[in-house]
A and B are shown apart, each in its own frame.
Chain A
């Protein structure tokens, strides 16, 4: 009896299914944009949807390790890279929406805007930090960087915290939704702290 599906099943069944499912929010947005069904303010819908999916994929990525440990299904680790890259994919869409439909390629204004508005500053920092992680996510880089790879990829915690802060700072009065994300992140980080302490004693 095995908790783990065969490698072939993971590569040719599970991963393609996951890949397709993760693409659904993007496809939904594209269909909505083409048919003009993204609501009264389509740019706002695009910004919010891509932003929320970036955060969701970040948290999903961070969920893999606790899930794997708690369930014993160690094969789950094989899905983590894809989830992380999807977080980056949605972050790129989110950033493109901002550059294109919000600022309309007014680069001078973008350069002024990023340091000026605190929520944009932290969002942009998170986005920039995601780039090295995406670039070093392939097997070759993992081999090349060895121990440094693990260190580098610890940045994902910083990114997730900045992502939540970005959300918290952009809402006007109703902090319920960002606080839900903050709680999930706190649980995920708390679990890691707890696990480390147990390991050390």
Chain B
């Protein structure tokens, strides 16, 4: 089934598909659409049918082999759509991310509420292939489409009192059925220190594998902070607030001894329930040993300076 073959990220579609073939295939696609719709979801379409087929690759993208689209979209921690790993893929099918607006408030000169399209319009999208390390001891490599968080935040001109940035997920039980049960204190809130947020690595992601972000991955817009455990990378964001005090973040409030505000990936600081020394790279055969976890998830060159002089065991 040729139509299901995905392009390798980093290769522009124009490089692998001559124009004539491309047009032919477009025609073929039209004819086989009836069947292919049954077989493939949007994001599984070939490169040339995607929304952002050939973006530039970020210089911070890893060379690690990306996890497959299926892995990334069927194994999710997104409690707003259920607590099982397979729940979000099932329960988010009918989630409608339109219309979507984002409110920016707090310690800045240009607060406001913006329609999603207008909100992301000023920024240059890129492919960012980042490692994601979950606090539960597994990891993936994910080709996001997004833009720099720092660029975005600067637009709103945070003032000198803006010491932290707080993000909030949509709270709407009718659209996010997992919120009907109070497993967490909804809405989900996450936060970063302002210098962490202004670092060059964090992105606001709006896509995956060159196409729109699937619902179960945090559509329509989410944060990605690659040197921190996955739960810091909050999904389906509706509010961004600049604050003077440290935001009360959801997992930290739920179990302060287990989930710190910083939650930097650190093999030397174990979680009470999971050793953090090693991780299982999703997609590796199950009989292979786990791989070693690296401090700051391997992004130390970019972020270690943020924590100079800080006790990372105390500030876990």
Measured CB to CB, the residues of A under 8 A from B are 33, 38-44, 46, 100-102, 104, 109, 113, 116-119, 169-170, 172-174, 176
Report if B282 contacts A (CB, 8 A). yes
Q: Which B-chain residue is minimally distant from A171 (CB atoms)?
A: B83
Report if B62 contacts A (CB, 8 A). no
- Pairwise interchain contact A40-B83, C-beta atoms closer than 8 A: no
Interface of A is mostly: helix
Partner of A117, one of B181, B273, B289: B273
Segment 70-123 of B: residues with Cβ below 8 Å from A: 70-71, 74-75, 79, 83, 85-86
Q: Which A-chain residue is minimally distant from B79 (CB atoms)?
A: A173
Measured CB to CB, the residues of B under 8 A from A are 70-71, 74-75, 79, 83, 85-86, 136, 138, 181, 183-184, 254-255, 270, 272-275, 277, 280, 282, 286-287, 289-290
- Pairwise interchain contact A41-B83, C-beta atoms closer than 8 A: no
Known A-B contacts A101-B286, A104-B290; the reply to A41 vs B280 at CB < 8 A is yes
Q: Which A-chain residue is minimally distant from B250 (CB atoms)?
A: A173
- Pairwise interchain contact B75-A173, C-beta atoms closer than 8 A: no
Partner of B183, one of A38, A118, A119, A174: A174
Q: Which A-chain residue is minimally distant from B68 (CB atoms)?
A: A40
- A100 vs B287: C-alpha distance when bound (angstroms): 8
Known A-B contacts A101-B287, A104-B290, A173-B83; the reply to A43 vs B280 at CB < 8 A is yes
9 A-B contacts, Cβ less than 8 Å apart?
Answer: A33-B286, A40-B74, A41-B280, A116-B275, A117-B274, A117-B275, A118-B272, A119-B273, A172-B136
- Pairwise interchain contact A41-B273, C-beta atoms closer than 8 A: no
CB distance from B83 to the nearest CB of A (A): 4
CB distance from A13 to the nearest CB of B (A): 38
- A91 vs B39: C-alpha distance when bound (angstroms): 40
Apart from the given pairs A42-B286, A44-B85, A170-B273, 12 other A-B contacts in the complex at a CB distance below 8 Å: A39-B86, A40-B70, A40-B282, A41-B85, A41-B282, A101-B286, A118-B272, A172-B136, A173-B184, A173-B254, A173-B255, A174-B83
Partner of A41, one of B70, B138, B272: B138
- Pairwise interchain contact A40-B286, C-beta atoms closer than 8 A: no
Q: Which A-chain residue is minimally distant from B74 (CB atoms)?
A: A40
CB-defined contacts of B75 to chain A, threshold 8 Å = 39-41
- A118 vs B277: C-alpha distance when bound (angstroms): 18
CB-defined contacts of B270 to chain A, threshold 8 Å = 116
CB-defined contacts of A44 to chain B, threshold 8 Å = 85, 138
CB-defined contacts of B85 to chain A, threshold 8 Å = 39-41, 44
CB distance from A34 to the nearest CB of B (A): 11
- Pairwise interchain contact A43-B83, C-beta atoms closer than 8 A: no
Q: Which B-chain residue is minimally distant from A169 (CB atoms)?
A: B273
CB distance from B230 to the nearest CB of A (A): 12
- A174 vs B81: C-alpha distance when bound (angstroms): 13
Known A-B contacts A173-B79, A173-B83, A173-B254; the reply to A43 vs B272 at CB < 8 A is no
- A42 vs B79: C-alpha distance when bound (angstroms): 21
- A101 vs B285: C-alpha distance when bound (angstroms): 10
CB-defined contacts of A119 to chain B, threshold 8 Å = 273
CB-defined contacts of B83 to chain A, threshold 8 Å = 173-174
CB distance from A129 to the nearest CB of B (A): 22
Central interface residue in A38, A44, A113, A118, by most chain B CB within 10 Å: A44
CB-defined contacts of B181 to chain A, threshold 8 Å = 174, 176
- A51 vs B85: C-alpha distance when bound (angstroms): 17
- A179 vs B109: C-alpha distance when bound (angstroms): 49
- A102 vs B289: C-alpha distance when bound (angstroms): 8
- A43 vs B280: C-alpha distance when bound (angstroms): 9
CB-defined contacts of A113 to chain B, threshold 8 Å = 275
CB-defined contacts of A172 to chain B, threshold 8 Å = 136, 273
Central interface residue in A41, A102, A169, A170, by most chain B CB within 10 Å: A41
